[in-house]
Amino acid sequence: MTPLATSLAAAAVVLLLALAHAGRPYWAWIAAAGCALGAWWAESGDSTAWRVTAGVALGAALLFGLRPLRAALLGRPLLAVLSPIFPRMSDTERVALDAGTVWWDRELFSGRPAWRAMLAFRPRPLDERERAFLAGPCRELCRLVDDEEVRRTGDLPPAVWDFIRRERFMGMIIPESYGGLGFSAAANSAVVALLSSRSVAASVTVMVPNSLGPAELLLHYGTDEQKSHWLPRLARGEEVPCFALTEPHAGSDAGGMLSRGVVCRGSWQGREVTGMRLSWNKRYITLAPVATVIGLAFRLFDPERLLGGNEDLGITCALIPRDTPGVIAGARHDPLGIPFMNGTTEGHEVFVPLEFIIGGRAMAGQGWRMLMECLSAGRSISLPANSTGGAQLAARAVGAYATVREQFNLPIGRFEGVQAPLARIAGTVYWLNALRTVTAGAVDAGEKPSVISAVAKCWSTEAMRRVVNDAMDVVGGAGICRGPRNVLAAAYQATPIGITVEGANILTRSMIVFGQGAIRCHPWALQEMEAAARKDHVALDRAFFAHVGFVFTNGVRSFLLALSGGRLASVPGGADSRRVLRQLTRWSASYALTADFAMGTLGGTLKRKEHVTGRMADALAWMYVAAAAVHRFEADGRPERDRALFRWATDEALWHVQEALRGVVDNLPLRPAAWKLRALVFPLGARLRPPTDRAVAAAARCLVDGHEAREALTRDIHVPSHDERGLGALERALSLTLSTAPLRKKLREAVAARKLPRLDEGALIEAARAQGLVTSAEHAELLEAWRARDAAVQVDAFDARTFPTDPTPPPARGRPATARG
């Protein structure tokens, strides 16, 4: 046999061993390459070099291909080297990691997302009963609420509270068997989105009982007796719940709470029982001022070992009736002037039986697990829906305003400086609703997506902040003068609230998304950490070398996909979607590779490198945003009306992914590793750009001039009647402006032909009528449209003698047709 034939045979043996024993034959290709190099040397006459090279290659193949041999020789040394590197997890971190499920986040972390399965996912549609509730009680509630009155009085009117209770808005998540509505996550999300476009106070009042709180915890962990007692009362609104978690010294670090309970004997309703003596001081608790039952989180201690376990039992959740002796009705907070019920609750030496623990005695000390397992569902629904409703309201209002408000004889929506924020508003609302629906769909499909829910909460509330800020810039002075005409003030004031609650966005971005995602979504990292913790060198060997193969594979894929601009990836969908999915496939491989470089070079210190983890969270989140946008575009049948919005949203998202990963590469402390990573991830540099000026103009046009995309973008909100100030007046002005556009064009042409003088529009309409250029009917239409536009751009003014004690605007007064405006 010639040296060449021998080397080829050796290469074949290497590959067979790889396929039989390793599953990921990355090392086999290296060994085969060594055999091929040896064959080349042998053919060149250098037999010694051939023997050495082929011997090394075959030795590597045997060592790494025969897993038992590899584990026996390398497993224990690996355990000794890697154990000190892996970060140590506290019990609370372990519970947080074990809670919930992984979903699309795992696919995006894989380097090779299963796009066909992801695009085939269909969120559960609303059933007939849910659609009827949206069209009936929800719309009626919107008609009942006067948000300006709520702001003036500081509370929802009694009639509105009664309606919320009667129609069981507080029991949307409670099954029908317990008297609730038993709605899906999609319906819950749709209700909150609709109400938030009408009144933040009303939406929060409905949202909170259906999110993380007593009902959710009872459904999952309550005893049968607790469910039978509490759930029907909560569904009917006879009991109003709140959930008390946050304290003055324990906010984002809920595990550091000072509220405590001590297991002891005491008197309850005339008999001696084993119970708990509780003391707490909580703040920022929504519905606390009106709550009749308090869901309380506290740390439980058993110093006398009455329960037979440890002294420190851990965080525990219990239901405490407000009328229990020792419970203090707390004061009320003022959250930026948004008048929903929020305040403090205190308890001092409050004694209750152990049966008040949610789930009974068996769940003592299990509160942190309960909270982590339930948080992902509520966080997937409430704030993304609230943000989407507010953003859609801003988009609808600003689209109308930019059409009817004119400066320099042009609608302001025609100016490029205004088109930039209009495009951001339209494109952001497009992907925001896609994210909302697909995330709620995951919950309906049985997922509890802990990482995705954190992304949805953080990025949706940040999106609302950007949309509302841009909308305020467009409407200018009309946005800063409060009153019934101001559509944006409440959303602008409320935006920081959503950003702060359910895990402040700073913490969520810098610690939670990648902190959990890197371990939960990575195919091998958690297995390695668990094997090292168990001192299992065989399991560690298997996971470690599979991890090495994962890195090698993603390194090659990242490099080749970067060189080809993603064109080597095989993806489904239409042409527009394939363009995005190819890029996402490239970034998925690059993301997984970058994550491994970060974990490998920083080790246990990575959790403290929050600039790095924050940028990794950005990249993962924007990949999810782009994937959700593709899913929406494909599920909707690739409508032409949405193409400009889809293009803007995905271009924006892909650019953010690139910039986030570039930021990680630029700032990795170990620079030699960063240089290698840059060569694999950015071999041709960072070539993506944000949306072009042409894409910006196209997206902006979707909001103005009555474009059909505006209706589709804002289909989930309440649009009031035309006789209502604010959005109603804007809608009326827009409708009349569009219907009289041909007549207004006729007047402009007459001015250009010098048939009419240059006058204010009101005077111009009268001059056209006097000269017979328009009929009486046309004159009436033009005059009505002009007056509607004039009314729509007015702002509220108050009587200086009574303001602010009586901030009631005087009734709108008509203006003469010749007035300047």
Cite the active site residues: 502
> Encoding tokens for residue 129?
């009963």
Per 3-state DSSP, the chain is made up of helix, strand and coil in percentages (nearest 5) of 65, 10, 30
Q: What is the amino acid identity at position 230?
A: W
d(CA 42, CA 50): 5
Classify residue 248 as exposed, middle or buried by CB count within 10 Å of its CB (0-12, 13-18, 19+).
Answer: exposed
Partnered with residue 343 across adjacent β-strands are: 285, 332
Comparing C-alpha atoms, which of 243, 328, 330 is closest to residue 293? 243
Cα separation, 50 vs 310, in Å, equals 66
- Bridge partners (DSSP) of residue 620 are none
Judge contact between 795 and 481, C-beta under 8 A.
yes
Q: Pull the structure tokens for residue 452.
A: 């995705």
What are phi and psi for residue 678, nearest 5 degrees?
Answer: -60, -40
- In the numeric block, the tokens 């390695």 are attached to 528
- 8 A C-beta contact, residue 731 and residue 722: yes
167/206 Cα distance (integer angstroms): 11
Token digits for 583?
């890029």
| DSSP H/E element including 559 | helix 537-563
- Rounded Cα distance between 670 and 622, Å, is 26
Q: Confirm if 736 and 785 have CB atoms less than 8 A apart.
A: yes
- AA letter at 50: W
CB of 26 within 8 A of CB of 548? yes
How far, in Å, are 401, 768, 775, 781 from residue 772 at the CA level?
31, 6, 7, 15
d(CA 404, CA 705): 9
C-alpha distances in Å from residue 696, one per residue of 228, 392, 613, 653, 710: 55, 19, 31, 14, 15
Do residues 268 and 303 lie in contact, with contact meaning Cβ atoms separated by under 8 Å?
Answer: no
Tokens 């004039």 correspond to 790
425 touches 394 (CB < 8 A): yes
112 HSE (CA, 13 A, CB side) = 10
DSSP 98-161: HSSB--HHHHHHSSS--HHHHHH--PPPP-HHHHHHIIIIIHHHHHH--HHHHHHHTS--HHHH
Helix (H, G, I), strand (E, B) or coil at 747: helix
Helices (H) then strands (E): counts for the chain: 34, 9
- Tell me the two tokens of residue 441: 């769909």
CA 406, 737, 702 angle in degrees (round to 5)?
75
Q: For residue 116, how many other CB atoms are within 10 A of its CB?
A: 11
* Beta-carbon count within 10 A of 563 CB: 13
The token pair at 580 is: 């995005």
Of the chain, the end-to-end C-alpha distance in Å amounts to 97
Where does residue 534 rank: exposed (0-12), middle (13-18), buried (19+ CB within 10 A)? exposed
d(CA 40, CA 167): 82
Contact 586, 569 (CB under 8 A): yes
Q: Report the alpha-carbon distance of residue 516 to residue 450 in Å, rounded.
A: 8
Nearest to 315 by CA among 360, 361, 365: 365
